[in-house]
Structure 1
Amino acid sequence: MSTGLLVQYVVVGLIVLISVLIVFRKLAPKLTNRWLAATSIRYSRPGRAAWVRALGRRLQPKEATGDCSDGCSTCGACGPKPPAAARQGEPMPLEFRPRR
């Protein structure tokens, strides 16, 4: 195997791995936040190297502020948002339902 082909495989593998991580983060945010918090705690322990503790601080997930704009959906008070047409004062689109 040539060196160029090996580099190509490594680059493509990294791109696929990053894509999978991004998709997984979008589809399972609570699970990935738990994993990030556990990893952050493990890396932030005293006695670790300074760069490992810095990485642990960087991996900490964002905390919910309790504000409705942070999108945490922990309290359930935000609820679903109306369509953009209804927010701007325009009539809502028609919904057709089958007869019973």
Structure 2
Amino acid sequence: MTPFLVIQAIVIGLAVIASLIYACRRLMPATSQRWQAALADSLSASSRPVVLRAIGKRLQPEAAAGGCGSGCGSCSTGCGSGSAAVEQPVQFRERSGE
């Protein structure tokens, strides 16, 4: 194999992996967050080197915050989203003749 073919295979492989990660995050968000948390936990183990622990800490997904101002509207404190969805009628307009 020539060096060009090796580089080409690496670039195509990276593009396929990036596409797979993107599709998993878009189509299976809860599962991908679980996988991300599992990877972060395994990298954050105390037996790992400092560099891997830092990467694990950075990869840890953000916890779903349900505090005031999150817009969940599930508590009686009145801090929910406050704005109700407003229905707007659909208006069809004729195209101008060109």
TM score, norm. by length of structure 1: 0.68
Q: CA deviation at 1:82?
A: 4.7
1:22 and 2:22 equivalent? yes
Identity %: 32
* Structure 2 spans left out of the alignment, 5+ residues: 75-79, 92-98
Choose which of 67, 71, 80 in structure 2 pairs with 1:68.
Answer: 71
1:15-94 alignment, distance < 5 Å: 15-66=15-66, 67-68=70-71, 82=85, 86=87, 91-93=88-90
Displaced runs of 4 or more, over 4 A: none
RMSD: 2.4
Amino acid corresponding to residue 15 of structure 1 in structure 2: A
Q: State the distance in 1 between where 2:6 and 2:47 align.
A: 37
Q: Number of matched residues?
A: 80
Q: CA deviation at 1:62?
A: 1.3
